[in-house]
Chain A
């Protein structure tokens, strides 16, 4: 190892070797060390995710929130609204046929573009990279989004529309 014998060549000089052979040899060592460092960083990043989900779980929406009157949104239309929690999250409310209502987060799960409901093809569309979601379940039908859209439960009371947190089936 380097430390075994006192080296007569100072460190700065060893960083700029004269022979090309030496230079390439040293840089490969360094590359390997950087890979090791990177590997450690990735492990730390993974640990950060664990800590995040252990100690800072996402808060569920509490209570019911008034959105709008039923008469305001005709069939096949969508309505944008916001729910102010710890952060303000934009949502869309969709009026499907058979008097069914759905509420989804408006942020696309791919790169957070705003999605919109297209009644003509009966899909939720993300215009950025042509991602499509099922308007009933929020599942990805096509395109790059990796996860389904987060959904809220919709409650209709006396012609008024409320949203509340959906009981989530947890993934195993």
Chain B
């Protein structure tokens, strides 16, 4: 393979760090919103508010799918065979 990746890593050693931080921040944001939804849904479902439960469920599922999809962009581990530094 070309040495493009390696020279990139050498030129910008902080890149994976930034990517990782960005992903983590997004994930934490998603999870926080989901906790908020769940909390609201629990309180509202007890008042037999079905629409609220359904809406938060849809929102929560979208966020979960987004979280899974974000995991694709996790940078490879430094010791992965592709990433000889």
Chain A residues whose CB sits within 8 angstroms of the CB of B31 once the complex forms = 35, 38-39, 42
A52-90 CB mask vs B (1 if < 8 Å, else 0) is 111001100000000000000000000000000000000
Q: Interface residue count for B (Cβ, 8 Å)?
A: 44
**Do A39 and B51 form a contact, CB below 8 Å, given A5-B81, A46-B57, A47-B61?**
no
Q: Name the segment of A95-103, A116-124, A130-138, A164-172 touching the other chain.
A: A164-172
B45 vs chain A, min Cβ distance (A): 5
Query: Given known contacts A17-B79, A22-B78, A32-B27, is B41 in contact with A46 (CB within 8 Å)?
Result: yes
Closest residue on chain A to residue B36 by CB atoms? A42
Q: A4-B82, A171-B49 are in contact. Are A49 and B41 (CB under 8 A)?
A: yes
- The answer on a CB contact under 8 Å between A43 and B45 is no
A109 to B51, CA, bound (A): 21
Tell me if A42 and B35 are in contact (CB < 8 A).
yes
Min Cβ gap B40→A in Å is 10
Interface residues of B in 4-20 (CB under 8 A from A): 16, 20
Q: Which residues of B contact A57 (CB under 8 A)?
A: 48
Determine how close the nearest CB of chain A comes to the CB of B10; give it in whole angstroms.
15
Does the CB pair A49–B64 fall under 8 Å? Answer: no
Q: Give B81 Cβ to nearest chain A Cβ, in Å.
A: 5
Checking B37, B47, B50, B67 against A46 with a beta-carbon cut-off of 8 angstroms, the contacting residue is B37
Docked-complex contact A147 and B70, CB < 8 angstroms: no
Q: Return chain B residues, CB-CB under 8 Å to A170.
A: 48-49
Indicate if A129 sits at the interface (CB-CB under 8 A): no
Against B, the Cβ 8 Å flags (1 = close, 0 = not) of A8-43 are: 010000100100011001101101110110111011
Nearest chain B CB to A58 CB, angstrom units: 7
The 8 closest A-B CB pairs, nearest first, are A43-B64, A39-B67, A42-B34, A35-B27, A46-B60, A43-B60, A46-B57, A5-B81
